[in-house]
Structure 1
Amino acid sequence: MNSSLQADVPQDMAGRAEPPRPGEVFRAFLKLGLTSFGGPVAHLGYFRDELVLRRKWIDEAGYADLVALCQFLPGPASSQVGFALGLLRGGSLGGLAAWCAFTLPSAALLVLFAMGAGAFGGPVGSGLVHGLKLVAVAVVAQAVWGMARSLAPDRPRAAIALLSVFVVSFAAGSIGQIAAILAGSLLGAWLCRDGAPASPAHLAFALSRRAGACALAAACLLLAALPLAAAASGSHALALFDVFYRAGALVFGGGHVVLPLLETAVVRPGWIDANGFLAGYGAAQAVPGPLFSFAAFLGAAMEPWPNGMLGAAICLVGIFAPGLLLVAGALPFWNALRRRPLAQAAMRGANAAVVGVLAAALYSPVWTSAVTGPPDFAVALAGFVLLTVWKAPPWLVVVLTSATGVALALL
């Protein structure tokens, strides 16, 4: 199948041209956006069940290749997979419909939480906030544990993960995090060349190479130009969009890994305090859909204007835009790139570095801001065990941990 097909001509599994179906895409992803709890790995399972097995939009081999592409790129992997499936089924409007339907339910719930958070006062309110902070400890610990087992299973990748912990610990902020991931990529290209090659199955997306090149150019241009435009204009709205765009463009590993980047960007300047930041992150575990929707909470809850609904929209579009542009840009070129052993090895190293970045974030700001004594440790550990051993759904852990936080505050 020619990879330079024109845009907006989706195909079925046999390669036959079909009319775009954005309405069907929106309905399918709205269902997923309302029911997909459990984080990005769980989302990919929901997508497979609904869109590969039940609706048969794409076959197993094509879906596996698509997941591999989105894991290769920075940004929220499950949202990128959903966006690409929307492009496949409904053209450009289908991609937009998939993103909106999957993202907006969780974003709306988090904006409502941000607007109502100030209504909680006294011991009940403080206990609830503290319980949500302890949820964040359990969830991030679970992410570190699970990612370490899958992304750093051998000595070279475990060493890369440990090195990234040191880099992030001694070079605080986004510079250290980006340096750790770049170093991991270079070390992976050297040390991680023994992995199995990617599947040779061909992806036949209706995107031309010219359209892909334009999307990649737009992603890079925005990354370079937004900081300059924000500094020159003095606009806080533009600065806000720039901060969230950079967070979405420079993070590998999805929602949990963006946590330290966002903490550096919005807590340290005083746009939101650490308690509010972690409370919102905890609340994000209780809603379905992508964890990047946490950006909507931050935009709504910030002190400087624009905040509220406008701030939520700016932050939400900003954090998702680079990942969606990158996946649209990469699709026409992925078949050739994914067969190169060097690119596969570099990505293994970058993924191992992600484990270290997240482990450093587990200590600061998550642990240091939430665990203040033995009772807090016991509650966080119970949440971790519920998630990892008993496989409890995250929303249930949120409810139980929040209720425990309120009970401890009342006692």
Structure 2
Amino acid sequence: MKQVFEVFWQFFTLGWISFGGPAAHIGYFEKTFVQKLKWIDSESYARLISLSQFLPGPGSSQIGFAIGLRRAGVIGGFTAFIAFTFPSVLLLYILATTDATQDAAWLVSITHGLKLLAVVVVADATLNMYKGFCKERTTVTICVVTAAVLLLVPSLLTQMIVLVAAGILGMQLKQPAETTVVATVKGGINYLPLVFFAVLFAGLPLLTNSPAWLTIFADFFQSGSLVFGGGHVVLPMLQQALGDAIDTDRFLMGYAAAQAVPGPMFSLSAFLGADLLVNSPLMGALIATVAIFLPGFLLVLGFHGAWESLAAKPKVSGAVWGINAAVVGLLMSALYSPVFTSAIVEPVDMAAVIVGFFALRTLKLPIMAVVASFIAFGYVMGL
């Protein structure tokens, strides 16, 4: 019980201060759990990062879940998730249910500023991932083809096809020499959570004429099951899955707000769930949040024990290589639609985005300073 409390306190504290998205979260985790507390060594931590890249789901939250799992078992894993996610879910739920969000002109102006912020953040994430994952001609080609296909044929099915194809292509083209991995976690594949995942993934889409809460669970579970690459990639997945169920401006407001709060990007689900189940917004927020995180955690539970030896296999490494390149292309397509097309209305908007990108990328201003600047810009432009 002491270890569970330690997990809760450490992740709860991080949940309030971890601004900056998945890449920043990985840095916070490394400083806290590798350097300071020494709950995990640096090599094992690196392999957890690779596991989160290979599996669909919220990358940084999966890493946190796995750290809690190592420290205090399954209870520790879910404790880490609840503690780290609670602050952002609470803040986004409050934003979604505040009466002032209905007609206030000031909020419309601030929302516009946050939508412009979304352009800056997604552009920065795309560039970072391009530099990290597209270093060879083959990966650049996978990235470009993925972006072009998704822009020409935007759909959830297309996204699934290109990600699977990239993984298969990577398995064929990238075959590094197998290395010896000293496993710090003993065990093989845990099939029970994988079976549970497969049943939900295959069965939920077959349910027709379902009550609203079950439809929300199904839509968010499917999105969480197909998101490779972490938080930013959930944007196009959810956009396709929800379709006309939620207004585009409202969707992008939630997405932009998720940039402004600490914690995982997937907490956007709390905002959207509250909007989708208007008669019971708290229930909607909780259902959507649980549903979008659940697939990634079931997969971590299934593969965690066997991953350190699997990660050294050439075919697995090649699949990760190809999927990562495709994820960059997916981000490129999302940067244009819906992010850019819904936010940039006039030249002053583009000017703000260029300056904001410079401030974040070159001046290295803290993310909260950039957030505050775009909120102020939106408010002033609305006067």
TM range (shorter): over 0.9
Are 2:252 and 1:278 aligned? yes
Q: Which residue number in structure 2 is paired with residue 354 of structure 1? A: 327
| Aligned match of 2:182 | 201
- CA distance change for structure 1 residues 218 and 163 in 2, over 3 Å: closer, same or farther? same
Aligned to 1:289: 263
Partner of 1:343: 316
Q: How does 1:286-365 map to 2 (within 5 A)?
A: 286-302=260-276, 304-305=277-278, 307-365=280-338
Contact 1:62-1:201 at 8 Å conserved across structures: no
Query: What 5-or-longer segments of structure 1 have no aligned partner?
Result: 1-18
- Any idea what SS the aligned residue of 1:64 has? helix
Letter in 1 for 2:241: A
Code of the aligned partner of 2:3: R
* 1:2-401 superposed matches below 5 A: 21-116=3-98, 118-119=100-101, 121=103, 123-194=105-176, 200-204=181-185, 209=188, 212-229=190-207, 231=208, 233-266=209-242, 268-269=243-244, 271-302=245-276, 304-305=277-278, 307-401=280-374
Deviation at 1:173, TM superposition (A): 1.5
Q: 1:134 touches 1:379 (CA, 8 Å); kept in 2?
A: yes
Q: Conserved in 1, the CA contact under 8 Å of 2:174 and 2:314?
A: no
Distance between the aligned counterparts of 2:327 and 2:101, measured in 1?
Answer: 37
Distance 1:349-1:117 versus aligned 2 partners, 3 A rule = farther
Separation of aligned partners in 2, 1:330 and 1:169: 33
CA separation of 1:198 and 1:307: change in aligned 2, threshold 3 A: farther
With normalisation by structure 2, the TM-score equals: 0.96
- 1:15 is aligned to none
CA distance in 1, matches of 2:179, 2:197: 26
Contact 1:36–1:43 (CA<8 Å) still a contact in 2? yes
Offset of 1:209 from its aligned partner? 4.0
Instruction: Flag structure 2 segments of 5+ consecutive residues without an equivalent.
Output: none
Whether the aligned pair in 1 keeps the contact of 2:181 and 2:309 (CA below 8 Å) is no
Distance in 2 (alpha carbons) for counterparts of 1:55 and 1:63: 13
Structure 1 residues 258-309: Cα deviation after superposition (integer angstroms, max 9, x where no partner): 100111122x22x22111111111111111110000110111123x546511
Are residues 1:403 and 2:357 paired? Answer: no
Percent identical among aligned pairs is: 43
Of the structure 1 ranges 168-177 and 39-48, higher mean CA displacement relative to structure 2 is found in 168-177
Deviation per CA, 1:181-219, whole angstroms, max 9, x where unpaired?
11211221233335x7667231316xx547x11011111
1:155 aligned partner, one-letter code = R
- SS of 2:88's equivalent in the other structure is helix
Instruction: Return 321-330 or 164-173, whichever deviates more.
Output: 164-173
For 2:99 and 2:164, the matched residues in 1 are separated by 38
Alpha-carbon distance, 1:394 to partner:
2.2
Report deviation, 1:95. 0.7
Q: Deviations over 1:112-144 (max 9, x none)?
A: 111126446454222111111101111110111
Q: When the two structures are superposed, what TM-score results if normalisation uses the length of structure 1?
A: 0.89
Taking a change above 3 Å as real, the CA distance of residues 121 and 239 of structure 1, as seen in their structure-2 partners, is: closer
Describe the SS at the equivalent of 1:21.
helix
**4+ aligned runs moved over 3 Å, structure 1:** 117-123, 196-199, 304-307
- 1:311–1:199 CA distance, 2 compared to 1 (3 A): farther
Q: Which whole-Å CA distance do the structure 2 matches of 1:39 and 1:305 have between them?
A: 28
**Preserved contact between residue 236 and residue 306 of structure 1 (Cα < 8 Å):** no
Alignment: residue pair count:
383
After superposing the two structures, state which structure 1 stretch, 305-314 or 256-265, moved more: 305-314
> Greater CA deviation, 338-347 or 309-318?
338-347
Q: What does the per-residue CA deviation read over 1:291-341, in whole Å, with 9 as the maximum and x for residues that have no partner? A: 000110111123x54651111001000000000000110012213321211
Q: Is the 8 A contact 1:33 1:106 kept in 2?
A: yes
